[in-house]
C-alpha cells in the first residue's frame, strides 16, 4: 500500500476520534482498573525447595466441637493453594497465615482423618494425617441432688450434679458455677471429681429458707471439644422451706380422723391419734428416724365403739398424759385418762362420768399443773335441756369436779379452751350466742381461790373465738375474727390478770391479700416469751378451698412471717386441725391433717420440724 495513503487514513481516523471527543458533554470518565494477570509461578526450579507442612493445632486425637480451629505452618516455596482434606475429600481452603475455623456440621460425629495439602506447579505436598474426633454433643445432667423441683430440701444440703461426660477441670470454679437464692448469690465451695463428671457445691453457710434455689453454669464450663453444659429447658431449681417433714405420713398413717400434738423440751414430737387402723388411741414418739409407738393402743372395755376425741399433754418433766372420750354400747360416754410410766400406760383413777345425764361430750381439753403433776380436764357436755363446760381435777386418787361453769340453756357454746397460769389457776375461754343479741360473745374465766374472775374481750364477734393462750407474765391473749375489706381477718388482743382493759396486739391481720378468710388455729408463747400465731388461710382467691398454713411471730410492734405458705401438697389440698409446739430453744414444730392428693376421702397426718 502507498505510504501516503496509509498516513492519510490514520490521520482521518484520528481526526474522527478527536471530533467525537469534542462533541461529548463534559463529564468524568470512569475507566475500570485492569487487573494485571497473576504472576505465573516460576516453575523453573520446582522441587529444589519443597513445601513443608507442620501441624500447629489441634493435637493428635483431640476432640473438636461444632467449629474446629486448624492451624499449620508452611516452609519452602510459596504454594498456589492450600486445602483441608477430611477423610480424603477437600472441604475448605486455607489462606495465609493458614489458620481456619472450620464448621464441622458437614461430617458425622466421631473420628476423622484430617490432612492439609499444598499445591504448586502441578505438584502436591501433604501434611501428616491427624486423627481428630468430632464431638458436637453437649454434656448434660444425668443426676442431680437435689432433684429439679424438689420441695423439701434441708438448709444443709450439699448440691451435686453428675454429667453425661467430663468437663475441663480448669473451666470449673466459683465464678463459672454459681448457687443462687432468688437473685442473690450464696457462697459455696465448688469442686470437680477426678474423672471430670461429678460437680459438687458445698454451701459455706446454711441455705436461706423460704427461697427458691438454683444452679447457674457459665458457657465456659465445657468438655474438651468446647461444648458447654446443656441445662434442662426449665433450669435446675428447688425449694428450701422453713420446715421439713418427719417420717412418711403416706404409708405410716393410712387415715387419721383426730389427733393431738405435743413437743417436749428437748425437741421430740409426740402424737396421739385416732384412725381406721385401730379402735383405740395410739400414742407415738419420734425417735430421730421413725415414729415409735408408746405401748399398745388405748381403749375402753372390750367391744366399746371407736373413741371420738383424744388429747395429749406433757407435764413439767415431759411425762406424757393422754385422755380420750370413750362411747359405750348403751349410748353413754366416759373420759379415760392415762399417764406413761416409761414402759406402760397407767390409769389415773376411774373413768370420768359427765355430770349431765344422757350427755354427749365434745371439746375435750387437758393440762397438767406445773408442780405436783396434777392433771386437769375440761370438756363441753350437753343433753336435751342443758349445755355446759365441766372441769375435773385429779385429787387424792379420784376425779373431782369444780363448780359448774359455762351457761345453761344457751343457743350455742363452742371454741372451748383451757390453760393454767404459773399459779396453776384455771383459765377457761369459750364463745357463745345469747338470746336477743347478735353475733358471738367471747368469755374468759379465771378460777382463783374458789372464785371466778371474768374477762370479756368481745360481745358481738361475727364468729367464735379462734385461739387462746396464757403467758408467764400473767397475760391472757385471744385471737378472734373480724371483718376487714370484705374478708375475715384476725384480731389479737391481750389483757393482764386483774386488769379490765383489752389491748390490741398489732392491727387486724391476714397473710394473703384479697378476699380470703384468715383464721387462727393456735396461739402460743415460746420458752423465750415470744408470741407465735398459726393461721389457716387460702393461698389465693381462685382456690379458696385449698387452705395452707402461715406462721407469724410478734416482734415488738409487728407480726413477722416465719417461712411462707406451708402444706404437704402445695396448691393442691386443704389443711385442717393444725397445731403447733415449741421446745426449750423456741424451735417451732407443726402438725396438721390434710386430704390425700389422690384420694380426698383419706385424711393424712403430717408432722414438720424446723429446717435448721
Instruction: Provide the pLDDT confidence category of residue 6 given band limits of 50, 70 and 90.
Output: very low
**pLDDT for residue 24:** 43
pLDDT band at residue 462 under the 50/70/90 scheme = confident
Rounded-to-integer distance, Cα 184 and Cα 592, Å: 33
CB atoms within 10 A of CB 378: 25
Average model confidence (pLDDT) across the chain: 86
pLDDT value at residue 46: 61
Instruction: Specify the residue for cell string 493435637.
Output: 59
For residue 31, pLDDT beyond 60? no
Predicted pLDDT of residue 484: 78
DSSP-based three-state secondary structure for 174 = coil
d(CA 112, CA 110): 7
Closest CA to 270 of 282, 258, 278, 253: 282
Q: Is the pLDDT of residue 553 over 90?
A: yes
Place of cell 378476699: 515
Query: Is-above-0.75 flag for pTM?
Result: yes
Q: Specify the pLDDT at position 280.
A: 86
Mean pLDDT, residues 187-216 taken together: 95
pLDDT tens digits, residue range 324-382? 999 999 889 999 999 999 999 999 999 999 999 889 999 999 999 998 899 999 999 99
The SS3 assignment for 541 reads helix
Q: How many other C-beta atoms are found inside a 10 Å radius of the C-beta of residue 27? A: 6
Residue in the structure block whose three cell numbers are 433450669: 235
What pLDDT was estimated at residue 41?
Answer: 65
Say which residues have a Cβ less than 8 Å from residue 183's Cβ, sequence separation at least 6.
none
Rounded to whole angstroms, how far apart are CA atoms 309 and 345? 18
Confidence tier at 211 by pLDDT (50, 70, 90): confident
Mean pLDDT of 58-74: 94
**What are 26's three cell numbers?**
463534559
Task: Give the pLDDT mean for 597-607.
Answer: 81
Residue closest to 157 by CA, chosen among 172, 147, 170 = 147
> Which pLDDT value is given to residue 12?
44
Cα–Cα distance between 445 and 364 in angstroms, integer? 17
Using an 8 Å Cβ cutoff, are 91 and 85 in contact? yes
Q: In the chain, where are the structural domains located?
A: 54-134, 141-240
State the Cα torsion 91-93-99-104 to the nearest 10°.
-20
Q: Tell which phi-psi region holds residue 582, choosing left (phi > 0), alpha (psi between -120 and 50) or beta.
A: beta
Tell me, letter by letter, the H, E, C secondary structure of 342-386: CCCEEECCCCECCCCCCCEEEEEEEEECCCCCCEEEEEEEECCCC
Percentage of the chain beyond pLDDT 90 is 57
Position 572 pLDDT exceeds 50: yes
Residues in CB range of 443: below 8 A, 6 or more apart: 429, 430, 431, 432, 454, 455, 456
Q: Which of 488, 596, 491 is nearest to 533 (CA)?
A: 491
Q: Which helix (H) or strand (E) holds 19?
A: helix 3-23
> Is the pLDDT confidence value at 478 over 70?
yes
Per-residue DSSP letter, 504: E
- What per-residue confidence (pLDDT) applies to 22? 37
Question: How far apart, in Å, do the first and last CA atoms of the chain sit?
Answer: 118
411 pLDDT higher than 80: no
What's the rounded mean pLDDT across residues 442-458?
A: 77
Note the pLDDT of residue 266.
95
pLDDT value of residue 563: 83
Which pLDDT value is given to residue 428? 92
**Is residue 374 packed enough to be buried (19+ CB in 10 Å), middle (13-18) or exposed (0-12)?**
middle
DSSP H or E run through 457: strand 451-461
What pLDDT is recorded for position 405? 53
Query: pLDDT tens across 520-535, in order?
Result: 999 999 999 999 999 9
Q: What is the mean pLDDT of residues 443-471?
A: 80
Which residues, including other chains, have CB under 8 Å from residue 376's CB and lie 6 or more apart? 366, 367, 368, 369, 391, 392, 393, 394, 418, 420, 426
Cα dist from 497 to 132, 151, 418, 480, 501, whole Å = 87, 44, 16, 19, 10
**In angstroms, rounded to a whole number, what is the distance separating the alpha carbons of residues 337 and 97?**
95
pLDDT winner (highest mean) among 30-34, 136-140, 439-443, 570-574? 136-140
Encode pLDDT of 83-129 as tens digits: 999 999 999 999 999 999 999 999 999 999 999 999 998 889 999 99
Which residues does residue 192 pair with via DSSP β-bridges, in sequence order?
199
Stretch 293-313: mean pLDDT, rounded? Answer: 91
Candidate from 54-58, 492-496, 509-513, 534-538 with smallest mean pLDDT: 509-513
- Report the C-alpha gap between 240 and 207 in whole angstroms: 7
Once rounded to an integer, what is the mean pLDDT over residues 65-76? 94
Mean pLDDT of the 572-600 span: 87
CATH of 141-240, one of 3.30.43.10, 2.60.40.1220, 3.50.50.60, 3.40.50.2300: 2.60.40.1220
Q: % helix / strand / coil in the chain, to the nearest 5?
A: 5, 50, 45
pLDDT for residue 461 is more than 90:
no
pLDDT-wise least confident of 33-47, 261-275, 596-610:
33-47
Three-class secondary structure of residue 328 per DSSP? coil
Distances (CA, A) of 134 to 63, 101, 509: 6, 14, 64
**Residue 269 CA to chain centroid, in angstroms?**
22
C-alpha 105 chain-centroid distance: 43
**Among the CATH numbers 2.40.50.100, 2.60.40.10, 3.30.530.20, 3.30.720.210, which is that of 54-134?**
2.60.40.10
What pLDDT shows up at residue 37?
54
Helix (H) or strand (E) holding 17: helix 3-23
What pLDDT shows up at residue 578?
Answer: 92
Distance separating alpha carbons of residues 246 and 288, to the nearest angstrom? 9
Cα distances from 401 to residues 165, 352, 391, 604, in angstroms, run 75, 10, 6, 36
Question: Which residue bears the cell 419420734?
Answer: 286
271 vs 291: CA distance, rounded Å: 9
**Residues 415 and 480: beta-carbon distance below 8 Å:** no
pLDDT class for 516, splitting at 50, 70, 90? confident
Which of 500, 516, 515, 397 has the alpha carbon at shortest distance from 453?
500
Cα-Cα-Cα-Cα torsion 405, 411, 416, 421, nearest 10 degrees, comes to -40
Task: Specify which residues 432 forms β-bridges with.
Answer: 413, 441
Q: At 611, give phi and psi (nearest 5°).
A: -90, 75
Amino acid at each position: 500500500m502507498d505510504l501516503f495513503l496509509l498516513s492519510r487514513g490514520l490521520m482521518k481516523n484520528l481526526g474522527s476520534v478527536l471530533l467525537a471527543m469534542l462533541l461529548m458533554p463534559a463529564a468524568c470518565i470512569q475507566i475500570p482498573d485492569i487487573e494485571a494477570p497473576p504472576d505465573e509461578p516460576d516453575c523453573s526450579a520446582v522441587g529444589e525447595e519443597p513445601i513443608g507442612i507442620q501441624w500447629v493445632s489441634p493435637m493428635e486425637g483431640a476432640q473438636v466441637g461444632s467449629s474446629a480451629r486448624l492451624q499449620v505452618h508452611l516452609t519452602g516455596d510459596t504454594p498456589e493453594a492450600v486445602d483441608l482434606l477430611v477423610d480424603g475429600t477437600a472441604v475448605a481452603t486455607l489462606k495465609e497465615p493458614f489458620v481456619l475455623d472450620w464448621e464441622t456440621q458437614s461430617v458425622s460425629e466421631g473420628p476423622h482423618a484430617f490432612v492439609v495439602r499444598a499445591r504448586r506447579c502441578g505438584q502436591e505436598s501433604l501434611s501428616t494425617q491427624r486423627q481428630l474426633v468430632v464431638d458436637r454433643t453437649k454434656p448434660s445432667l444425668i443426676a442431680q441432688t437435689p432433684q429439679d423441683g424438689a420441695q423439701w430440701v434441708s438448709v444443709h444440703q450439699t448440691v451435686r450434679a453428675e454429667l453425661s461426660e467430663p468437663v475441663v477441670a480448669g473451666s470449673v470454679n466459683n465464678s463459672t458455677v454459681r448457687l443462687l437464692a432468688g437473685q442473690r448469690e450464696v457462697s459455696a465451695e465448688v469442686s470437680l471429681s477426678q474423672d471430670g463428671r461429678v460437680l459438687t457445691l458445698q454451701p459455706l453457710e446454711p441455705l436461706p429458707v423460704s427461697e427458691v434455689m438454683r444452679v447457674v453454669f457459665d458457657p465456659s464450663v465445657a468438655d474438651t471439644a468446647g461444648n458447654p453444659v446443656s441445662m434442662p429447658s426449665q433450669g435446675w431449681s428447688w425449694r428450701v422451706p422453713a420446715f421439713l417433714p418427719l417420717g412418711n405420713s403416706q404409708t405410716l398413717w393410712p387415715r387419721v380422723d383426730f389427733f393431738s400434738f405435743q413437743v417436749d423440751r428437748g425437741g421430740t414430737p409426740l402424737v396421739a391419734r385416732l384412725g381406721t387402723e385401730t379402735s383405740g388411741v395410739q400414742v407415738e414418739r419420734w425417735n430421730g428416724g421413725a415414729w415409735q409407738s408408746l405401748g399398745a393402743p388405748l381403749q375402753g372395755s372390750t367391744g366399746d365403739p371407736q373413741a371420738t376425741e383424744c388429747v395429749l399433754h406433757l407435764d413439767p418433766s415431759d411425762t406424757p398424759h393422754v385422755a380420750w372420750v370413750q362411747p359405750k354400747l348403751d349410748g353413754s360416754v366416759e373420759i379415760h385418762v392415762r399417764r406413761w410410766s416409761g414402759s406402760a400406760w397407767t390409769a389415773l383413777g376411774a373413768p370420768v362420768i359427765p355430770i349431765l345425764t344422757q350427755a354427749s361430750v365434745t371439746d375435750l381439753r387437758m393440762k397438767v399443773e406445773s408442780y405436783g403433776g396434777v392433771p386437769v380436764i375440761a370438756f363441753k357436755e350437753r343433753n336435751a335441756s342443758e349445755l355446759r363446760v365441766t372441769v375435773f381435777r385429779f385429787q387424792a386418787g379420784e376425779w373431782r369436779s369444780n363448780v359448774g361453769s359455762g351457761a345453761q340453756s344457751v343457743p350455742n357454746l363452742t371454741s372451748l379452751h383451757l390453760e393454767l397460769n404459773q399459779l396453776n389457776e384455771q383459765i377457761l375461754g369459750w364463745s357463745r350466742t345469747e338470746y336477743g343479741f347478735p353475733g358471738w360473745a367471747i368469755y374468759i374465766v379465771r378460777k382463783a381461790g374458789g372464785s371466778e374472775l371474768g374477762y370479756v374481750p368481745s360481745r358481738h364477734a361475727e364468729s367464735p373465738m379462734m385461739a387462746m393462750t396464757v403467758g408467764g407474765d400473767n397475760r391472757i391473749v385471744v385471737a378472734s375474727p373480724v371483718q376487714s375489706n370484705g374478708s375475715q381477718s384476725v384480731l389479737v388482743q391481750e389483757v393482764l390478770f386483774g386488769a379490765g382493759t383489752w389491748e390490741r396486739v398489732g392491727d387486724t391481720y391476714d397473710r394473703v391479700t384479697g378476699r380470703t378468710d384468715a383464721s387462727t388455729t393456735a396461739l402460743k408463747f415460746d420458752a423465750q416469751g415470744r408470741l407465735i400465731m398459726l393461721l389457716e388461710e387460702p393461698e389465693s382467691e381462685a382456690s379458696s378451698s385449698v387452705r395452707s398454713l402461715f406462721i407469724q411471730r410478734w416482734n415488738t410492734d409487728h407480726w413477722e412471717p416465719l417461712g411462707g405458705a406451708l402444706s404437704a401438697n402445695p396448691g393442691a389440698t386443704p389443711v385442717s386441725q393444725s397445731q403447733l409446739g415449741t421446745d426449750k430453744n423456741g424451735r417451732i414444730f407443726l402438725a396438721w391433717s390434710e386430704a390425700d392428693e389422690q384420694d380426698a376421702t383419706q385424711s393424712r397426718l403430717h408432722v414438720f420440724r424446723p429446717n435448721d
